[in-house]
Amino acid sequence: MHIGFMIPHWDHIDPIKSSTLTVIKECFERGHTVSILYTNNLTVRNNIVHGFIKTIAKMEKIPENITSFYKKVQLEKNFIALHAFDCLMLRKDPPINPIVLNFLDAIKDEVIIVNDVDGIRKANNKLYTTTFHDPDNTYLPVTHVSGSKKFINKTINESPSEKMILKPLDGSGGRGVIVLEKNAKENINSLLDFYIDDQGDNYVILQEFIQGADEGDVRVLMLDGKFIGAYNRKPAEGEVRANMQTGGSAHKYTLTESQKKICKKVGSKLVSDGLFFVGLDMIGDKILEVNVLNPGGITNINKLNKLKLQKKVVDFIEDKVHEKIEKRVELEYLLKRLNKLRE
């Protein structure tokens, strides 16, 4: 199989921390051709979507150690029509430029894309959780999204809680997530001026401060609608954000029965939206956000539990590709029979 990985940059990979590299290595060890490409490598040549890709050259012996593997990789330049990929993994931080998705629209029927282009389009920012329809907050925190400073101000004033969270609609890695305290009211207007421009075409999230957040959040990795692992991220001293990028620390975690139930419930919806490999961020029984582009966690969960989750991910990719090939063969056979009958 030829498996592509759309990543930020090969040289920026941290081999110890990178979940993507574990999956790349697993694919390579299984004998698949593995290529990487960047979003600016997408090209249309005479109406066909191509890419300037870099393919990992064959190795006589693949080092077991991930850092040695990373150092040994030689990348060979190629220019190919992208429907030649069997699978393309999108491993770039959100939000993705919608034009990238338009490039991929042309190949989505032929190539297994994880996650599905239309799914990513739906879940390209934090508004996606509104499609879960949970007005009673059984598993979503009280969340408001607005481009109106007036609405946000009014909602803060009416809220019984002293503390709320303000964050951008399409942030990641904890960027722009801040705590609003009612007793620091003099800052609120200035903050809203910063988050919402005067054109009124950007939005901000105002969310209840979830109880238990001091203990950090839980990253749950979901594959094909089922959870395959989780770990707890505790925020650094004096920090509210538990993201690893903001100094969070990784701890072993076992999901509670009610968290498992929520994952199961959400899992079927994710799959029906074509979102096969997903990272849920949870605090207690509340889902904070659904990460569909480049969710991390494999390396931390592996380390804390002596697992190799990348194997499950690659098993899934292989199954999906085989399923697609079988369907194609079946369709070709049926078409042949139909043509024969017509003759």
Ligand X SMILES: Nc1ncnc2c1ncn2[C@@H]1O[C@H](COP(=O)(O)OP(=O)(O)O)[C@@H](O)[C@H]1O
Binding stretches for ligand X (CB under 6 A): 141, 165, 167, 171-175, 177, 207-210, 213, 217, 235, 240-243, 281, 283, 288-289
User: In whole angstroms, what is the distance from residue 23 CA to residue 5 CA?
Assistant: 10
| Binding-site partner at residue 209 among ligand X, Mg ion, none, CB < 5 to 8 Å by type | ligand X
Quickly tell me which residue has 């697992």 as its tokens.
307
Q: Least Å distance between CB 279 and ligand X?
A: 9
Q: Least Å distance between CB 207 and ligand X?
A: 4
**What tokens appear for 146 in the block?**
């607005």
Of 25 and 241, the one with the shorter C-beta distance to Mg ion is: 241
Axis-axis angle for helices 309-342, 19-29 (nearest 10): 60
Of 154 and 175, the one with the shorter C-beta distance to Mg ion is: 175
Q: Which region holds residue 166: left if phi is over 0, alpha if psi is between -120 and 50, else beta?
A: beta
Q: Least Å distance between CB 269 and Mg ion?
A: 19
| Binding-site partner at residue 146 among ligand X, Mg ion, none, CB < 5 to 8 Å by type | none
Quickly tell me which residue has 């739906």 as its tokens.
122
Phi, psi at 108, each rounded to 5° = -65, -25
Q: Least Å distance between CB 322 and ligand X?
A: 34
Q: Is 208 exposed, middle or buried (0-12, 13-18, 19+ CB in 10 A)?
A: middle
**What tokens appear for 307 in the block?**
């697992």
User: In whole angstroms, what is the distance from residue 236 CA to residue 191 CA?
Assistant: 24
Q: What does DSSP assign to residue 304?
A: H
Q: Least Å distance between CB 289 and Mg ion?
A: 5
Of 2 and 233, the one with the shorter C-beta distance to ligand X is: 233
CA 338 to chain centre: 42
| Binding-site partner at residue 149 among ligand X, Mg ion, none, CB < 5 to 8 Å by type | none
Of 87 and 177, the one with the shorter C-beta distance to ligand X is: 177
Q: Which residue in the shown chain puts its C-beta closest to Mg ion? A: 281
| Binding-site partner at residue 213 among Mg ion, ligand X, none, CB < 5 to 8 Å by type | ligand X
Q: Least Å distance between CB 208 and ligand X?
A: 6
Give me the residues paired with residue 261 across strands. none
Q: Which residues bind Mg ion (CB under 5 A)?
A: 281
| Binding-site partner at residue 115 among Mg ion, ligand X, none, CB < 5 to 8 Å by type | none
